[in-house]
Amino acid sequence: MINRDMDIREKSIVLIGFMGVGKTTVGQLLAQKLNRSLVDIDQVIENDFGMPTTEIFNKYGESTFRKYEKETVISYCKQKWKIISVGGGAFLNEEVRKACLSNCLVVYLDIPWEEWKKRLHMLIDSRPVLQGRTLDEIRKLFDERQKIYATHHLKVTIDAKSAAEVADDIVDCLQSAWKIHP
Ligand SMILES: Nc1ncnc2c1ncn2[C@@H]1O[C@H](COP(=O)(O)OP(=O)(O)OP(=O)(O)O)[C@@H](O)[C@H]1O
Ligand SMILES: O=C(O)C1=C[C@@H](O)[C@@H](O)[C@H](O)C1
Ligand SMILES: [Mg+2]
């Protein structure tokens, strides 16, 4: 359901999906295509703490990260005209989900497990949530996380597409939504 209190084109676009699906990479391309600025929430948090996410988890704990993540997303999603890529776990929080869904257009980047598995080697060192887990445990997390992404406005399936192709698909999807809800 799209909240039509403001012009739909003004709304910021929030990218959600499992870690490594490409929210940051695709977000950069989408921002260029739509001439908007990108707010990468993980990047904002890392800049504010002056350290990588893994270090924030190790030094302050996941709950400190999650609290800061919640406040950061809620604050940015009130702004218009942005592309906001949120961390893969941000939608665990109900207030975050509600704030994004009511203020922004939420686009879910959906990736099949077999495709995602190919990226694991690129993610394991930088994503604390994956560290120390077996492949079976990661698969379980992947399946569990699908529930939190179930509420969104638009969905784009990733498959074996390049990041540029995914960005093009999102633009097509947005253009249809902008036409249907002028
Ligand atoms: N469509 C794609 N095809 C192949 N590789 C990709 C694609 N999109 C992103 N990647 C690669 O996958 C890795 C993870 O991408 P990215 O950091 O953008 O994911 P993310 O969704 O932002 O993850 P997180 O939720 O952890 O922030 C990067 O190495 C990136 O280059
Ligand atoms: O899926 C997650 O829980 C996370 C994803 C990353 O984007 C970071 O926000 C952090 O590593 C946690
Ligand atoms: Mg990212």
Stated pTM of the model: 0.96
Residues lining ion ligand 3 (Cβ < 5 A) are: 23-24
For residue 3, being part of any structural domain is answered with: no
| Tokens read off for 14 | 């929030």
In terms of phi and psi (left: phi > 0; alpha: psi -120 to 50; beta: otherwise), the region of 181 is beta
**Other beta carbons less than 10 A from residue 75's beta carbon:** 12
Per the domain annotation, does 73 fall within a domain? Answer: yes
Q: What is the pLDDT of residue 163?
A: 97
**Is residue 94 a part of any domain in this protein?**
yes
Domain-embedded: residue 2: no
Mean pLDDT across 9-22: 97
Residue 1 belongs to a domain: no
C-alpha closest to that of 62 among 131, 123, 148, 149: 131
Average pLDDT over residues 94-113: 97
Strands (E), 62-161: 82-85, 105-110, 154-157
Domain of 162 in residue numbering reads as: 8-180
Whole-number pLDDT of residue 143: 98
Site of tokens 């992404």: 149
Q: What is the mean pLDDT of residues 19-44?
A: 98
pLDDT of residue 2: 60
Total structural domains in the chain? Answer: 1
Average the pLDDT over 122-130 and give the result. 93
Position of tokens 């074996």? 160
**Coil/strand/helix, residue 11:** coil
Rounded (5°) CA angle 34-79-52? 85
181 CA distance to ligand 1 middle (Å):
30
Pocket test for ligand 1, best of 26, 86, 117, 119 (most atoms within 8 A of CB): 119
146 has a pLDDT exceeding 80: yes
CATH number for the domain including 124?
3.40.50.300
